[in-house]
Structure 1
Amino acid sequence: MEEQEVKKIHRATKDDDDDDGCQVDHIPLDLTLEIISRLPAKSIARFLSVSKLWSSFTTFPSLINSFASRSSSLPPRLLLTFSLHGKHFVFCFPQNQNHEGFYPPFYSYQITNPKYYGIKLSESVHGLILLRNLVVWNPTLRRLLTFPQPQQTISLKDLPYLGYCSYLGYDPLEGKHKVLFMLRMKYTDQPRVFTLGGQESWRIITKGRCPMHSPTGGYGRCFNGILYYEAHDTDGHRIIMSFDVKHENFNLIKLPEGCYQLPCHMTLHEGRLALVPRSVHFGKLDLYILKNPNRDEWLHEKCFLDIPASVFFNGVTAAGELVFTTAKKESLSIVYFNPSSNIMRVALFEGIVGGDFRRRYGLSSYGDIYNISVFPNHSETLVSF
């Protein structure tokens, strides 16, 4: 099927490809895709602009799956974005290396269309990131997908006043991303869902699969095919909702007493859902671990950190390390802290904000970086839109 599609595209684009000296038709398709799948993601991304034929290769399921299989076997990466003098930049680094304090990025580039990049609504979910205004970003391919706003039973004129919440989840069994949508500050038991790559539009979740609740905004977190997000129940209590991305079932989880009034960061700790308050006071950090989800039983652990007061909490790695960032004019540091072993390590990035970097992009030597976003556990993907 894929080979027939290539032949059709090749015939339609023969004139364009003749100028490029393209000889792909002399190489078997399966061998071509195998060669491409072994290339770095930044090289594959360049194929998008070579010709229509080369661009079409990045949409083939066999290539996407082969690349995903190789990418998943590699150590996870840390994706970093920030702004400086009105320009926006993306960097990708090995997450579990850096014993010497500095290393070059795997890839980096400047964002040329910064319209949607200011506000992120998710972590890196199997290589994709949800941004504001129902936009999904693939940093590897540098592509954006804007979803249509759901219109069934929703008055669009009410959206600016009510607002809405959207969350990105991933089903590892079927390899599908899904976006969950509902109005904010409005109780519902029938959220909407959109499957990426499918032929469908927004669907309403079947009645009876979801308890009545109201989302509060903030990030959703997806672990092992389960999406978690903060909400209120019908009594006005803060809760966590869990959403099975594959089966589209919901479950309500009550918060521990110490988290009722505090915004928290959701993560996994030794395979279980854990909550970390987003504020760190005097080097002390509270960790709430869900012991039994059926009984809403939580464990409370305290961690003591010897880190500067100016750090910002940015999530947790797949290995259970808490991630913090701190930035200065000439450098940016990522602090990793493992609460289980009480071990801390620091990754210092001198080359991405210093003088050489600023001169390369024609930036002034004055001013600090801002809009720093860190995405632990990032994996490269060729998922196209």
Structure 2
Amino acid sequence: MKNMEQQSSKGLVLTTSGHETQSANSVKEYSDPPIPDDLLTEIFSRVPAKSIARFRCVSKFLASIFCRPDFTDLFLTMSLTRPRFLFALEADKTLFLYSAPQPHNPNDNSSLVATPYQTLIFPEYIGFDNPRTLCGLVLLWQMRVILIAATYLGYDRIGKRFKVLRMTSSRDGRPNTHQVLTLESGKLLWRMVECKFHFVPTLALATHICINGVLYFEAKLGKSTVIVCFDVTSEKFDFINTNEDMEQGLACELKSLELFNYKGKLGMHNKENDLYGKRLVLWVLEDAGNHKWSKNVYVFSPLDEKMVKHIKFVGVTGRGDIVYSPRPFHPVNWYFVVFYNVESKTFTRVKVEGLEVEEGEKNHFKNTLIGYVENLEFM
């Protein structure tokens, strides 16, 4: 018995079955109904980006679907509903990124399985301290000696493009420069943009975030600390004032400020307000035009206070849970994330498994990133 199947690009299948002496009339031809393109688009929008990269090599037809703008948009929309953690581990001047799903309802008996996501090797002058993530891209900070150079990553929701904002402040008194680079195919060129007010980015260069097409970062305007707003689409600058309560400790602690996304609004955390772990103070921008902030204070019990002293604030999930992670240099073989439910006022610790390192390597964690989503824009 000899069996043979051949499938054409149109879904046509030819089947030959019988003895070798069987005549050609025994060949049967049938055709299955093709899968609609919209159904294929819906199915593939739910798989990981790495799987999409492999499927693109299967056929030109699939590759054409994955390159369509509507599929790219749908994939990003679906990714936003399944945010992930990124764990950054440094070992021998190499940055290892691991990824794990963000749990919706964490409990003390649950655990996260992290899988290798990316390995990055950089020269010594690239800093690993505070990588930032936006719509599938990770931005690393490069420190310059002669110029104070601040680099920020933003996303233009209208043009659906990533843009990099770079500002330089010279130590010899030369005027500051503001440049924008659009990440697109073809030759990449920096363009000068105008800013009508003079500010100096702080040395806490990783303190920035892009929310709904607006890039926010900390800066000094005269003697005051402000939050600069850069509209990624129009490429216009503005700023939001802070108050004395919010600025407590910023002058002496350059890395005390953390900006985060609080349910689509700009959130700000200054660890100097936390009284050494006795409480958590979060500020939320309610009205940018009127520089209006709301203050949220969460006071911890003496038992919880002991734990909070040894972990650091990471951010807030979409449902409003506050996330903590161990501080840098924490042992890799016992890594965890902590969720604080503001309604029940309870902490939940979830162990992270799968973080593998070579025995004998000098390694330590640099950061935990929250709310990472995959994007096919540059695949």
TM norm structure 2? 0.71
Query: Is contact 1:121-1:220 (8 Å) kept?
Result: no
Match of 1:238 among 198, 220, 225: 225
Query: Is contact 1:256-1:298 (8 Å) kept?
Result: no
| Match in the other structure for 1:319 | 319
Cα deviation for residue 273 of structure 1 reads 2.5
Bigger shift: 264-273 or 176-185?
A: 264-273
Cα deviation for residue 277 of structure 1 reads 1.1
Match of 2:89 among 62, 82, 91: 82
| Match in the other structure for 2:373 | 379
Query: Is contact 2:261-2:315 (8 Å) kept?
Result: no
Q: Which amino acid aligns with 2:128?
A: I
| Match in the other structure for 1:221 | 209
Query: Is contact 1:264-1:275 (8 Å) kept?
Result: yes
Where 1:70 maps in the other structure, the secondary structure is: helix
Where 1:124 maps in the other structure, the secondary structure is: strand
Match of 2:189 among 174, 186, 201: 201
Pairing of 1:103-142 with structure 2 (within 5 A): 103-105=112-114, 107-109=115-117, 111=119, 113-115=121-123, 118-119=127-128, 123-133=132-142
Query: Is contact 1:321-1:338 (8 Å) kept?
Result: yes
| Match in the other structure for 1:96 | 103
| Match in the other structure for 1:142 | none
Query: Is contact 2:332-2:365 (8 Å) kept?
Result: no
Paired with 1:297 and 1:187, the residues of 2 have a C-alpha distance of 34
Paired with 2:376 and 2:213, the residues of 1 have a C-alpha distance of 20
Match of 2:163 among 178, 185, 188: 178
Where 2:53 maps in the other structure, the secondary structure is: helix
Residue 72 of structure 2 corresponds to residue 64 of structure 1 = yes
Closer/same/farther in 2, CA of residues 104 and 371 from structure 1, 3 Å limit: closer
Instruction: Show structure 1 runs of 5+ residues with no match.
Output: 1-22, 135-158
| Match in the other structure for 2:24 | none
Query: Is contact 2:267-2:282 (8 Å) kept?
Result: yes
Closer/same/farther in 2, CA of residues 188 and 228 from structure 1, 3 Å limit: farther
Closer/same/farther in 2, CA of residues 103 and 133 from structure 1, 3 Å limit: closer
Cα deviation for residue 323 of structure 1 reads 2.1
| Match in the other structure for 1:148 | none
Matched positions, count: 325
Paired with 1:102 and 1:55, the residues of 2 have a C-alpha distance of 36
Match of 2:154 among 169, 178, 186: 169
| Match in the other structure for 2:48 | 40
| Match in the other structure for 2:354 | 352
Closer/same/farther in 2, CA of residues 240 and 377 from structure 1, 3 Å limit: same
Paired with 1:292 and 1:109, the residues of 2 have a C-alpha distance of 38
Q: Which amino acid aligns with 2:223?
A: G
Match of 1:282 among 235, 256, 277: 277
Query: Is contact 2:263-2:318 (8 Å) kept?
Result: no
Cα deviation for residue 380 of structure 1 reads 0.8
Query: Is contact 2:87-2:97 (8 Å) kept?
Result: yes
Query: Is contact 1:79-1:375 (8 Å) kept?
Result: yes
Query: Is contact 2:93-2:123 (8 Å) kept?
Result: no
From the two aligned structures, give the one with the greater strand fraction.
Answer: 2
- The RMSD of aligned alpha carbons is 3.7
Cα deviation for residue 166 of structure 1 reads 0.8
| Match in the other structure for 1:333 | 336
Deviations 1:277-298 (A, max 9, x none): 1455133222223343333333
Cα deviation for residue 231 of structure 1 reads 0.9
Paired with 1:182 and 1:379, the residues of 2 have a C-alpha distance of 27
Closer/same/farther in 2, CA of residues 229 and 86 from structure 1, 3 Å limit: closer
Bigger shift: 112-121 or 281-290?
A: 112-121
Query: Is contact 2:169-2:176 (8 Å) kept?
Result: no
TM norm structure 1? 0.70
Cα deviation for residue 165 of structure 1 reads 0.3
Closer/same/farther in 2, CA of residues 334 and 42 from structure 1, 3 Å limit: same
Paired with 1:61 and 1:286, the residues of 2 have a C-alpha distance of 41
Pairing of 1:242-253 with structure 2 (within 5 A): 242-253=229-240
Deviations 1:261-287 (A, max 9, x none): 423111243543232114551332222
Where 1:246 maps in the other structure, the secondary structure is: coil
Deviations 1:149-199 (A, max 9, x none): xxxxxxxxxx63123001111122332211111104678676211122265
| Match in the other structure for 2:309 | 309
Where 1:318 maps in the other structure, the secondary structure is: coil
Query: Is contact 1:37-1:67 (8 Å) kept?
Result: yes
